[in-house]
Amino acid sequence: MKTVRVRAPELPQNQPWLNTDKPLSLQQLRGRIVILDFWTYCCINCLHVLPDLKYLEQKYKDSLTVIGVHSAKFDNEKDVDNIRQAILRYDIEHPVVVDSGFQVWQQYAVRAWPTLTVIDPEGYVIGSAAGEGNRDVLDELIAKLIQEYRVKGAIASPEISFILEKQRQPLIKPLAFPGKVLATATGLFIADSGHHRIIWSTLDGEILHVIGTGKSGLIDGDFTQAQFFAPQGMVLDEENQLLYVADTENHAIRRINLPLQRVETIAGTGEQSRNIRPYGGIGQKTALNSPWDLVMVKSYLFIAMAGNHQIWQMDLEKGILQTYAGTGAEACLDGLVADSAFAQPSGITTDGRELYVADSEGSSIRRIGLMLDPQVRTICGSGELFGFGDVDGTGADVRLQHCLGIEYAQNFLWIADTYNHKIKLANPHSGNCQHVLGDGVASLQDGQGKNSCFNEPSGLSVFGSNLYVADTNNHAIRRVKLDTLTVNTMEFPGLCAPNVCIP
């Protein structure tokens, strides 16, 4: 941690604040230690910091106040309601100021997401740390500050209460921020990410099973005992009726035996890996880093490992997994799989010969050869971390904005262009990409083609003549008839939020 001691610039009072009924000032927080968390909600590294902050907030609740400073990367992240939805999705319980125009960022000379800045009880900046993995350093520093300022008589505990966004807008809908969806002959599987569970229904919405208690945790067992933590991508082994789940915030891969109604962990230790270099090992003994999506080729599971910007493979027969592509650097570099680089890959699909990846932070679609052609190529998108937008076209002229979902079907790629609130269709051979669904307004509206509306769609699945969409911020699953491009919102009669029954 870099240590300094300068007077902390005051926080803006004229910008939007969330998770509080009024703006906060450093003056009113004198006597308390303050941590400013400079973040943006697309950033996986920023998300990894949140559990550390929650730990510190709870441990030092009488002496510490955490304030999020949301300095947006993508245009879509500048919208206050979108930030509010992210606060709800990630269960953030500290105040957040919307840093429009990077005002606070510049005043504090921040250079990277995430950055944590520590302010002492007298209102001086005494240290900052960029990146993740700084919990122990911060813990030690806070304990030292409390001891030092208690001797001075300068530690105070003014009573501070906040009105949280989740108090204003409780997550009581049947689905909460569904991240991915999988349509199969066995039924429809929904990663009900905000409720930490998997929903299994018919393709028409009749509930067959709810898998998981609805509380976050890492517990194996039957459907009523098992626990997940913000699950995302899924893939089904139809022959053996085994559903594999990327249990993202548990940093684990789970396997669900559908006939036996049992959940087991097959990869990951439950702890986040800090290793970004290519590595591997035995499934249950190898730490993972935010697995986000899955696809299966023969007896291999391929994993979009968002947290360390890589694609992994798991030999399901041997129980061994290892890095398949990506050095671990956050970038968009084509070439041999061992030399390539990705930027938070969050969606993955296959035609059986190649993998196709939604590389979210690079707003690009990548292809990866399998076995005989181990090369990575960019199909469309700028291939640059800040090269985003909303432009149809071919190859490098295409602009997407933080695409999270991708599905191969009938020689085309369906793309969830998440932050543009659109669904697009790309030719994997020519690189041509065109907008086909959604008008770009973040809303919930059924209709045909571009006359429909989505709100940060994140997951896609094609089965038969329908495309299923996990419409994340609308807390909905949308079904699209491929012949007419007619969009309808699905109903799931009898499905309730955990511990809440909605008529």
Relative to beta strand 221-222, strand 262-267 is antiparallel
Question: For the chain, what percent of residues have pLDDT higher than 70?
Answer: 98
Which amino acid is located at 105 in the chain?
W
The whole-angstrom separation of Cα 351 and Cα 197 is: 28
Q: pLDDT of 57-70, one tens digit each?
A: 999 999 999 999 99
Q: What is the pLDDT of residue 371?
A: 75
The whole-angstrom separation of Cα 10 and Cα 282 is: 50
When the pLDDT of each residue in the chain is averaged and rounded to a whole number, the result is 96
Adjacent-strand bridge partners of 442: 454
The whole-angstrom separation of Cα 111 and Cα 99 is: 14
Q: pLDDT of 470-497, one tens digit each?
A: 999 999 999 999 999 999 999 999 999 9
Task: From residue 124, give the alpha-carbon distance in Å to each of 119, 121, 127.
Answer: 5, 7, 9
pLDDT > 60? residue 217: yes
CB-based contact 437:454 (threshold 8 Å): yes
Encode 429-439: b = buried (16+ Cβ within 10 Å), e = exposed: eebbbebbbbb
Residue 198's pLDDT band (boundaries 50, 70, 90)?
Answer: very high
pLDDT > 60? residue 502: no
Q: pLDDT of 105-142, one tens digit each?
A: 999 999 999 999 999 999 999 999 999 999 999 999 99
The whole-angstrom separation of Cα 368 and Cα 378 is: 9
Taking residues 442-454, report their average pLDDT.
98
CB-based contact 352:342 (threshold 8 Å): no
Q: pLDDT of 388-399, one tens digit each?
A: 999 999 999 999
Task: From residue 154, give the alpha-carbon distance in Å to each of 113, 157, 274, 409, 428.
Answer: 31, 10, 37, 64, 63
Q: pLDDT of 312-351, one tens digit each?
A: 999 999 999 999 999 999 999 999 999 999 999 999 999 9
Exposed / middle / buried, residue 484 (Cβ in 10 Å: 0-12, 13-18, 19+):
exposed
Angle at 447 between CA 437 and CA 421, to 5 degrees: 35
